[in-house]
Amino acid sequence: MNPLLIIKKNPPPLLLLMSAILLFAVVFSQIVGINFRGIKMFDLPLDTVLWIITLFLILLGAFYQLTNKFLYSITITQLHVFITVFTTILILIVLFTGIIPSKEITENHEIIGSLIQILSLIFVFAQLIYLFNILLGLLAKRK
């Protein structure tokens, strides 16, 4: 069976796959020697933020499994999962670009901060899609 068809029918395992990739990136960066200790994001050490995001994605995948019968639409679920995964990937790209910056990024370091803030807001607001999906499902079953 086509893996894309499986993901299209049941997208929450994509969150678990993304958390595994993120976990691999965190562990691999420590093996390579990239040190996150001196870098802060939202007044937290960057390695702590990466662990928080990884655990959040794992919990979100578990919540999808627990609330599967309450969800209103698979389309809303797909939208939420893809926005969450896409913004997580973009956050990682921007973070690693900021850790090992080019000359242009070094001269305009506020771009990295602004991008991280925007992507973090998109990530947080995407989680509201999940809550919206559950609320619609509960309201539809109530009628």
- Chain centroid to Cα 86, Å, comes to 7
Main-chain phi, psi angles of 55, to 5 degrees: -65, -35
Q: Are 57 and 88 in contact (CB under 8 A)?
A: yes
| Predicted confidence (pLDDT) at residue 110 exceeds the cutoff of 80 | no
Q: Using one digit for the tens of pLDDT, what is the confidence trace for 50-80?
A: 778 888 888 888 888 888 888 888 888 888 8
The predicted model scores a pTM of: 0.76
How much is the pLDDT for 18? 79
Q: Using one digit for the tens of pLDDT, what is the confidence trace for 117-127?
A: 898 899 889 98
How much is the pLDDT for 77? 84
